Amino acid sequence: MQDKNIIHPLDADGYALRDGVWSPLRAEKLVTFTGGTENAWGDDGGTLDGGAIFNVTGTVRARIIGVVETTLVGAATINIGTSEDVAGIIAQVADATGLAVNEIWHDASPDKSVEASSVATENIIANGLDVLLYNGTANITAGAIRFLASWFPMSEGAFLKASSS
């Protein structure tokens, strides 16, 4: 069964572009950190510490990066993964204050606003494991990261979308 919400971009001749190095299906999620507020993004140990940024149905291939829109405040750790591998998608940054405006977060040492596309690792996310954002050791009290996912379904009915949290 085809999901009518999946839209493939078209080439100049009107044909649907299909899977390539970067999958044509995309999702994005803006996370604004206000960790001084209980259970908000950035509240170490709050309900969104390990909160879903992308919900996954089935099994998908995905490349996920973060683009820092506002420098983060708070010497916390931060990483992206699943409930089974908490840093399996984007490695842990030891101090979130190192995430500055326009930096592309794809590994433990974000430091550039221009990166080779090959730095974004493609992962297979199995059987409905949501993509989760973790922070630890301190609150992240300010800042914002836009998470971008380029994905492609592997199993029938598979889907990746931005979470509502």
Q: Is residue 128 part of a domain?
A: yes
Euclidean distance between CA atoms 56 and 160, whole angstroms:
5
Euclidean distance between CA atoms 163 and 155, whole angstroms:
20
Read off the amino acid at residue 103.
E
- Model confidence at 47: pLDDT above 80: yes
Q: What pLDDT is attached to residue 18?
A: 61
Structure tokens at 105: 């977060």
Q: Is residue 20 part of a domain?
A: no
| pLDDT (average), residues 131-150 | 96
The residue that leads in pLDDT, 29 or 22, is 29
Q: How confident is the model at residue 112 (pLDDT cuts 50, 70, 90)?
A: confident
Q: How confident is the model at residue 6 (pLDDT cuts 50, 70, 90)?
A: low
- Model confidence at 37: pLDDT above 90: yes
| pLDDT (average), residues 117-142 | 93
| pLDDT (average), residues 27-45 | 96
Q: Is residue 108 part of a domain?
A: yes
Q: Is residue 49 part of a domain?
A: yes
Q: What pLDDT is attached to residue 16?
A: 64
Q: What pLDDT is attached to residue 13?
A: 76
Q: How confident is the model at residue 155 (pLDDT cuts 50, 70, 90)?
A: confident
Q: Is residue 21 part of a domain?
A: no
Q: What is the reported pTM? A: 0.86
What is the domain extent for residue 74?
A: 30-162
Q: How many domains does the chain have?
A: 1
Within 10 Å of residue 87's Cβ, how many Cβ atoms?
16
Structure tokens at 98: 């190192």
- Model confidence at 72: pLDDT above 80: yes
Q: What pLDDT is attached to residue 36?
A: 93
Q: Is residue 6 part of a domain?
A: no
Instruction: Of 7-16, 26-35, 55-64, give the lowest mean pLDDT range.
Output: 7-16
- Model confidence at 118: pLDDT above 70: yes
